[in-house]
Amino acid sequence: LPKAELVVDLLQVLQVRYIKLQGDVHPSILRALSGSKIQVLLTVPDQSIPALAQSQNAASEWFEANILHHFPSTEVTGIVLGSELMTKDPSFAGDLIEAGRKIRSCIAAAGLDQEIRVSASLSMQMFSQWGHKPSSAAFEDFYQSHLRELLDFLAPKGSYLMINVDPFEAHLHDGFALDFAMSSSTAQELLDEDTKAGYTGLLDAAVDSAYSAMEKLGFSNIPVVVGEIGWPWKSSGSESDPLSTATVENAALFAQSLVKRIQSDKGTPHKPEASIRVYVHEFFDIVGPADDSRRRYGLFSTSQVPRYSFHLSPGVSEAEILMRRVLADNGTNGTAFCVAAPGASDNVLSVGLNWACGQGNADCTPIQQNGACYLPDTYAAHASYAFNSYYQKNVGAGATCDFQGAAMLTSTDPSKLLF
């Protein structure tokens, strides 16, 4: 992975406010997050759970090293007990809950009961009839006694239940249509016949399935947080589907639909008053280029290059924000200029030029005949002037540099370019 400071810088440029850290987290990452105002969920590695369950001293040492040494400048707001540990092996339920109790004792001793919550993550494999009819969802019989104990642990302290949702897997193996799994705007509504609630995407259906399953065990006030959700841009080498839907295009569409859903700040049909907290899986691809044994979900490569483009906020793509950061790293103080893209046809440039000088309200007087910037009299030169005039006037309000692919960002002042 890149240096911790570079990762945190990228998170801040992208205006990420919440992250979940998995596995053994190196102290340098927690130090780099100091003062960033990014709220952190820290996951206890699966292999550490038994030791923490058996010894209060071990739990205290883990808590001191990972939390107290960094808090409050690094804003740890939650601790997740393992990664789907109960799904992998239900016999670990006792250790998981006991480790949670010992960590919660550490939190209480530090006076941080109101700042830090303890949770655990579940795979959707632990639910029956989920998604297709959310009101009928329940925990699989095999897991129910363990999950009742877990929910008893979570409920009194205002903790939440974390679910990990894999829409791609649900599409491949659980019978969900592609548009519905991707929460696409073209998805056909799924009607829950018992509640008459309509669902247009798997995210809401999965969250309400978790609420329904908990209610069947007598727990109605535990919030649900989506700890993982994403769409792979590349399938594993072992997948034989010749029409695999694990593509860059589908990953970008899914990400855009997800961002739009979360930005709506709406609840689900079953819990309309409760907005959904979601953690995207995953920020970086964590496998090498020669490893085809697993799907690739990363938004970025480990060299911090976006795998695809999608809009993190209205009008601003993560690729463009990253470009501004690269410009800043190159010593240009983050100054970006919007110019005609090499190879753009005169017809496409003409359309963009007319829009910028008209509806875009760019100052195009200097490129009129006899104007100070009329020469050279080419579409590329005039478009670059108009594009940049529009961009500089409106970038603070979220303007982009695209013009249907006719423009690009550069660190070179267009007045110094030769056309």
Top-confidence residue, 354 or 242: 354
Q: Give the pLDDT band of residue 51 (cuts 50, 70, 90).
A: very high
Q: Are 202 and 266 in contact (CB under 8 A)?
A: no
CA torsion through residues 183, 187, 192, 195, sign? positive
**Distance in angstroms (rounded) separating the CA atoms of residues 317 and 13:** 11
CATH class of 4-306: alpha beta
Instruction: Please report, for the chain, the start and end positions of each structural domain, with discontinuous segments joined by +.
Output: 4-306, 335-416
Q: Is the pLDDT of residue 333 over 90?
A: no
- pLDDT value, residue 356: 95
Asked if residue 306 has pLDDT above 90, the reply is: no
Q: Which residue has the tokens 């998170």?
A: 11
Q: What is the pLDDT of residue 219?
A: 96
Distance CA 268, CA 276 (A): 8
Q: Would you tell me the crossing angle of helices 318-327 and 4-13 to the nearest 10 degrees?
A: 120
64, 75, 84, 98: the catalytic one is: 84
pLDDT band, residue 368 (cuts 50/70/90): very high
pLDDT tens-place string over residues 133-162: 999 999 999 888 889 999 999 998 889 999
Q: Amino acid identity of 248?
A: V
Q: What is the pLDDT of residue 171?
A: 92
Alpha helices in 64-190 (DSSP H): 85-88, 93-109, 144-154, 167-173, 178-181
* Region for 282 from its dihedrals, namely left if φ exceeds 0, alpha if ψ lies in -120 to 50, beta otherwise: beta
Contact 86, 150 (CB under 8 A): yes
Does residue 196 have a pLDDT over 70? Answer: yes
3-state secondary structure 360-411: CCCCCHHHCCCCCCCCCCCHHHHHHHHHHHHHHHHHHHCCCCCCCCCEEEEC
Is residue 99's pLDDT more than 70? Answer: yes
- Token pair recorded at residue 36: 């960033």
Which of 80, 70, 79 is closest to 36 using CA atoms? 70
The residue from 98, 149, 193, 228 that is catalytic is 228
Which among 103-117, 181-195, 240-254, 276-290 has the top mean pLDDT? 103-117
Write the pLDDT tens digit of every residue in 250-261: 888 899 899 889
| pLDDT of the residue at 242 | 45
pLDDT for 330 beyond 70? no
Tokens of 76: 């740890």
Helix (H) or strand (E) run with residue 215 in it? helix 202-216
Tell me the C-alpha distance between 294 and 272, whole Å.
36
Instruction: Give the pLDDT of residue 256.
Output: 86
Q: CA 173, CA 131: separation in Å to the nearest integer?
A: 13
Look at residue 57 in the predicted model and tell me its pLDDT.
98
Beta strands 337-340 and 407-410, pairing class: antiparallel
| Percentage of the residues of the chain whose pLDDT score is greater than 70 | 87
> How far is residue 150 from each of residues 71, 135, 385, measured CA to CA in Å?
27, 21, 62
Type and span of the H or E element at 70: none
Over residues 199-227, the pLDDT tens digits come to 999 999 999 999 999 999 999 999 999 99
Mean pLDDT of the chain: 87
Among this protein's residues, is 228 annotated catalytic?
Answer: yes
Are 67 and 35 contacting, i.e. CB atoms less than 8 angstroms apart? no
Residue 50: other Cβ atoms inside 10 A = 16
Q: How far is CA 108 from the centre of its chain?
A: 31
pLDDT value at residue 237: 61
Can you give the pTM of this predicted structure?
Answer: 0.77
Task: Report the pLDDT averaged over residues 179-195.
Answer: 93
More confident residue, 41 or 399: 41
CA dist 352 → 340, 357, 360 (Å): 9, 9, 10
pLDDT computed for residue 338 by the predictor: 86
Residue 149 and residue 412: Cα distance in Å, rounded?
62
**Structural contact between residues 236 and 293, judged by C-beta atoms closer than 8 angstroms:** yes
